Structure 1
Amino acid sequence: MDIRNCTPEDLEAIQQLYTAARNLQAERKMVVWPAFDNPFIKNEIAEKRHWKIVADGVLVCNWVITYTDPSIWGDRDRNDAVFIHRICTHPAYRGNRYIDAITTWARAHAAQLGRRYVRLDTLGNNQKLVRHYTAAGFTFLGIVTLTDTRQLPLHYQLEPHCCLFEITV
């Protein structure tokens, strides 16, 4: 298993993972991510914020990071965290607890940058994801109601209730 930045050559595989994630979200009656267009993803890749896990030559998991997230975290965003978004796992590799590898990687990445926390969120009251993230060491901070979602992707505008999680570096 190897963690590294995504490259433009990963675009098709990333889009396939997002399609699979949207299908799973719809099947489970969760908030469904919108389709993310290629220029949007290419920009994240160019900014070196789109990451992947490769196992046996297959892109098995990907996620995006940001270094600021005031629309979700409000006053808690004090330039002291790495924020994880859109964790997505290949359907054939689900159940391998890649969240543990992501958490270990993110804590090390945050420490290198002098950040105190790794944070993530999920929309709605998804108790399965609450258990998943807390099992990986994150503290569930509760559910907040987002008030200004204009700068966020569409799915945040569809569901204002957001579960917040953090882990200390």
Structure 2
Amino acid sequence: MEQVLEFMNDGSDVYLAEWNNEIVGTYILTWSDPFIWQELDNSESGYIHRFAVHREYRGLDIGKYLLKNAEQQIRLKGKTWIRLDCMAENPRLNQYYRDCGFQYIRRIDGEGWSANLYEKQ
């Protein structure tokens, strides 16, 4: 919860997906991400973070719906690139993003973690 409040205080947009009065998914949009994207960070991009779908609702394409919604929100802000990152060691999630049309950019390594960067125009 503390991290979500941090995002909100930094000007990020927090989205919750509700179905039958239950939260089924979420994502956060940020308008800059120099920590992860480093020198590639730019003002033409929107960054998807904390993207998640409740496990009980897997297989209903809620994730694809949320990604499309995030893309629309990013475009409404006048941005031309949609970006996200995910843990490099999660092959299933990496494949999911590729299947959704995201292109692999590169891997970054932090202290005790690694992430793959993806984008689409």
- Compute the TM-score of the two structures, normalised by the length of structure 2: 0.85
Q: Give the count of matched residue pairs.
A: 120
Residue 64 (str. 1) matches residue 17 (str. 2): no
For each residue in 1:127-162, what CA deviation from the matched residue of structure 2 results, as whole angstroms up to 9, or x when unmatched? 11111111111112232234xxxxxxxxxx431x21
For each residue in 1:74-121, what CA deviation from the matched residue of structure 2 results, as whole angstroms up to 9, or x when unmatched? 121111111111112222112223231122112211211111111110
Deviation for aligned residue 1:60:
0.3
- Check the 8 A contact 2:12/2:31 in 1, yes or no: no
User: How do 1:10-159 residues align onto structure 2 when only pairs under 5 Å count?
Assistant: 38-45=1-8, 47=11, 49-146=13-110, 157-159=111-113
Percent identity over the alignment is 22
Distance change (3 Å), C-alpha of 1:78 and 1:43: closer
Which structure 1 segments of 5+ residues have no match?
1-37, 147-156
CA RMSD of aligned residues (A): 1.9
Distance 1:48 1:165 in 2: 19
Pick the structure with greater CA Rg. 1
Q: Which has the higher helix share?
A: 1
* Counterpart position of 1:165: 118
Which structure 2 segments of 5+ residues have no match?
none
Higher RCO by CA contacts (8 Å cutoff, separation 6 or greater): 1
Q: Which has the higher strand share?
A: 2
* Counterpart position of 1:20: none
3-state secondary structure, aligned to 2:78 = coil
Distance change (3 Å), C-alpha of 1:89 and 1:76: same
- Check the 8 A contact 1:99/1:136 in 2, yes or no: no
AA matched with 1:49: D
- Check the 8 A contact 1:125/1:143 in 2, yes or no: no
AA matched with 1:163: N
- Compute the TM-score of the two structures, normalised by the length of structure 1: 0.63
Deviation beyond 4 Å, 4+ runs, structure 1: 45-48
